[in-house]
Amino acid sequence: MKDKLREIREEAMKRIEAARDLDALNEIKVGVLGKKGDLTQVLKSMKDVAPEDRPKVGQMVNDTRAAIEEKLESVRKEIANKLREEKMKNEVIDVTLPGTHKMIGHRHPNQIALEDLERVFVGMGYEIVEGPEVEYDHYNFELLNIPANHPAKDEQDTFYINKEILLRTQTSPVQARVMEDKVREAKETNSRMKPIRIIAPGRVFRSDEVDATHSPSFHQVEGLVVDKNITFADLKGTLQQFAEEFFGPETKIKLRPHHFPFTEPSAEVDVSCFKCGGKGCRMCKGSGWIEILGCGMVHPKVLTDCGIDPEEYSGFAFGIGLERVALLKYEIDDMRLLYENDVRFLNQF
């Protein structure tokens, strides 16, 4: 019995000494002190020991148990300490290291120009609306007084989806959609039509070859105002206000007669060159003026076809090329730069 106990103790001590982690220690604990452990087995055989020897043997078992438990605990502490030290070493933070630099994006020049434009028109009480990029021929041409075989249709090289559906070549179809909506709303509520004052920014498509001033996909901002007693003077005043706020307070505007099928009369609008102030420079090609948009009074036929009585209502419209004003404002000389997503370019804005 005595030998057996010594054997158990020596064996356990050796194994505890050799243990490398907490799992191994636990395994030893269960194997020696557990319910089916070696030492427990010895206790069970106490019944074979002569009664007068039992207290002595019992004492020996308890000593063995205490010694093993003590050893287990001291090695457990050692291992736990070592683990903690390792963890601390791995988690050391070197505060002198440079931080990880988070790259944040830039607003695209188109976006900056659009937000600026929206700021100006929202300030004048305009609402921002959107229309579909895939559009009916009916809205893109027909309702805008551009019937089949009209030469203006050929000028806008159109991407057709089928005979009736196309990629819009201009944001002007949003004009027709908004007018129809307002007329419908008035009918449904049995009230008179509410005045219209909207801008409609969006993407347009034309099957153009890419070069410094053309792209098959670009952006326009459409404007439309319809109410009683809207005159050409309102259009001029609005555009003058826009030019001053967008290009600078010294900016002048000049209207040149032009033709658009959906406006009558129509005009193209130039602003005085904001680079040279009108003296003539490379930017304005020496003329002192830069063309920025097309506009006019909404054609009576367009009003009528959208359900509005031209005897009662009148309106003006304008169309701004977003890329055009962005390029001008930031003095970028090639439209392709806006689409190439070269960060060396975009980082400058």
Note whether 263 binds ligand DAH by CB under 6 A.
yes
CA distance to 5, 34, 41, 238, per residue, from 61 (Å): 7, 14, 11, 104
In this structure, the number of other CB atoms found within 10 A of the CB of residue 227 comes to 14
**Closest-approach residue to ligand DAH (CB):** 319
Rg from Cα positions in the chain: 43
Helix axes 322-329, 109-123, angle to 10 degrees: 100
User: How far, in Å, CA of 310 to CA of 308, rounded?
Assistant: 6
Of 38, 222, 270, 323, which lies in the binding site for ligand DAH, with binding defined by CB under 6 A?
Answer: 222
Which residue number, 271 or 295, has a Cβ lying nearer to ligand DAH?
A: 295
Residue 12 CA to residue 248 CA, distance in Å, equals 91
- The residues in 266-325 that bind ligand DAH, with binding defined as CB under 6 A, are 294-296, 317-319
Cβ proximity to ligand DAH: between 56 and 214 the closer is 214
Which of 288, 296 has the CB closer to ligand DAH? 296
**Does residue 37 contact residue 30 with C-beta atoms inside 8 Å?**
yes
- Name which of 289 and 318 has its Cβ closer to ligand DAH: 318
When the beta carbons of 40 and 240 are compared against ligand DAH, the nearer one is 240
Site for ligand DAH (CB under 6 A): how many residues?
A: 11
Minimum distance between the CB of residue 225 and ligand DAH, rounded to whole angstroms?
11
Strand partners, 316: 225, 297
Q: Which of 172, 251, 272, 314 binds ligand DAH (CB under 6 A)?
A: 172
Q: Is 170 in the site for ligand DAH (CB under 6 A)?
A: yes
Comparison of 317 and 338: residue with beta carbon closer to ligand DAH:
317
**Structure token digits, residue 118:** 């929206």
Quote the least distance from Cβ 187 to ligand DAH, whole Å: 25
Provide the minimum distance between the beta carbon of 267 and ligand DAH in the complex, in angstroms, as a whole number: 8
Least distance from ligand DAH to the Cβ atom of residue 295, Å: 5
The footprint of ligand DAH on residues 129-168 (CB under 6 A) is none
Q: Which residues contact 47 (CB under 8 A, 6 or more apart)?
A: none
Which pair of structure tokens corresponds to residue 298?
């909404």
- Which residue lies nearer to ligand DAH by CB, 170 or 272? 170
First to last CA, the chain: 90
Q: Under the criterion CB under 6 A, does residue 261 sit at the interface with ligand DAH?
A: no
Binding ligand DAH by CB under 6 A: which of 141, 218, 260, 289? 260
Q: What tokens were used for 237? A: 């005043």
Strands across the sheet with 253-260, in order? 127-128, 196-205, 217-227, 314-321, 289-298, 263-272, 253-260
List residues near ligand DAH by CB under 6 A.
170, 172, 222, 260, 263, 294-296, 317-319
